Amino acid sequence: LQVLRRLGYLDADEGVTLKGRVACCFGTGDELISAELALSGALQDLDAAQAAALLSALVFQDRAGDEGGLEGEDALRWGCVAAREAAERVLEAQNAAGMGRGAKGAGFQRSGPLNFGLVGVVKEWARGVPFLELCRLTDVMEGNIVRTITRLDETCREFQNAAHVMGNPALFKLMEAASAAIKRDVVFAASLYVA
């Protein structure tokens, strides 16, 4: 509760604030980081492909290097910085509540729940690059790419719900476009077997 109060998700009487209601919309990534990111305005200057790419950092779980493929993508780079800052705010609140690195099984490490290893790959996927070409951009296994993009679609829907709660139609439309951009081809095929 200390973390939620410190971050403004609960008021002094432990009533749920707007921030708290926004956080309730999330379940696929870290709820607090997702809410902080949604409320920060960091997504507003991104196009659909960039927004999908940034949100992939919330759901990608494989080991990969830092973000790549961001040359000439200043808005997306800024979005990555904003996501890191959101994670830092959550980490600081957890540390202040005694839930940081020293606490048993609580909090998260600085490497944290954000993993930018597929940001460039997801950006290219959302811009229409074929899956085979996409696989050449990374050492991440194909199944992990598919799983990440599938989870990312759910994250986009959660951000749409959050945008509705926030009363932010621009964010809602952006997340709708991001979901449409990634929802294609082999990643969302009902079956990989052809009869």
Q: What gap in Å lies between CA 170 and CA 80, rounded to an integer? A: 20
Residue 105 lies in a domain: yes
Residue 190 lies in a domain: no
CATH number for the domain harbouring residue 163:
1.10.3380.30
Crossing angle for the helix pair 169-182 and 142-166, to the nearest 10 degrees: 160
The pLDDT of residue 99: 79
Q: What is the domain count for the chain?
A: 1
* CA neighbours closer than 13 Å in the CB half-sphere of residue 154: 12
Residue 152 lies in a domain: yes
pLDDT category of residue 110 using cuts at 50, 70 and 90: very low
For the entire predicted model, the pTM comes to 0.86
Residue 121 lies in a domain: yes
* 120 contact partners, CB below 8 Å, separation of at least 6: 53, 67, 68, 69, 70, 137, 138
The pLDDT of residue 66: 60
Across the chain, what does the average pLDDT equal? 87
Residue 142 lies in a domain: yes
- Contact (CB, 8 A) for 58 and 175: no
Residue 191 lies in a domain: no
**Structural domain span for residue 175:** 2-185
Residue 193 lies in a domain: no
Residue 195 lies in a domain: no
**What is the percent of the chain where pLDDT is above 70?**
86
